[in-house]
Structure 1
């Protein structure tokens, strides 16, 4: 799998910003077929940082209504990447 296909986008929310500042953990939306090893390699090569740990979560898509019609959002995978001491990623300076 291509490095650019593994990581789809960073997740920037209030919760992830607090985790980034306090625990040095960054969050990404990743490809559903990507495993922890592929995610670690992609983050290390794309952002030039050292990764200590990768945790993943499969997020189920929500059922939403559009008027009287029902639809379902896609399932997706979230990765919490813990960086080693001294490593940091700033999404707004890249």
Structure 2
């Protein structure tokens, strides 16, 4: 699997930013079929940092409903896989460099 297929995008939320500053942990949305070893090698190759640990979790999809003139419309927001990557001390990942 290529790096661009493996890493979908970084997660930039308030909680993720707090972990980046204090714990050197970065959150990424990754391909559901990716394993920890593939994620580790992709992060090290793409960002040029040493990865200490990779934690993964699958965020489940959510049911969504909305009310229209025709009645209720039901849908599902798809789930995704999240990887939380811890980098070595003294190293950082600049997520805003390519914006």
- Give the alignment's TM-score, normalised by structure 2: 0.91
Which residue of 1 is the match for residue 55 of structure 2? 55
Q: Which moved more, 1:59-68 or 1:25-34?
A: 59-68
**Helix, strand or coil at the partner of 2:45:** helix
Gapped runs of 5+ residues in structure 1? none
**Helix, strand or coil at the partner of 1:42:** helix
Which residue of 2 is the match for residue 23 of structure 1? 23
Question: Which portions of structure 1, spanning 4 or more consecutive aligned residues, are displaced by more than 3 angstroms?
Answer: none
| Count of residues in correspondence between the two structures | 94
More strand, by proportion: 2
Structure 1 position 89 matched with structure 2 position 56: no
Greater radius of gyration (CA): 2
Task: Please report how far the alpha carbon of residue 86 of structure 1 lies from its aligned counterpart in structure 2 after TM superposition.
Answer: 1.8
Matches within 5 A, 1:24-39: 24-39=24-39
Task: Please report how far the alpha carbon of residue 66 of structure 1 lies from its aligned counterpart in structure 2 after TM superposition.
Answer: 3.0
Task: Please report how far the alpha carbon of residue 55 of structure 1 lies from its aligned counterpart in structure 2 after TM superposition.
Answer: 0.1
Task: Please report how far the alpha carbon of residue 39 of structure 1 lies from its aligned counterpart in structure 2 after TM superposition.
Answer: 0.4
Structure 1 position 70 matched with structure 2 position 74: yes
Task: Please report how far the alpha carbon of residue 19 of structure 1 lies from its aligned counterpart in structure 2 after TM superposition.
Answer: 0.2
Q: Which moved more, 1:41-50 or 1:64-73?
A: 64-73
Gapped runs of 5+ residues in structure 2? none
- 1:30 and 1:87 map into 2 onto residues whose CA distance is 21
- 1:87 and 1:42 map into 2 onto residues whose CA distance is 16
**Helix, strand or coil at the partner of 1:56:** strand
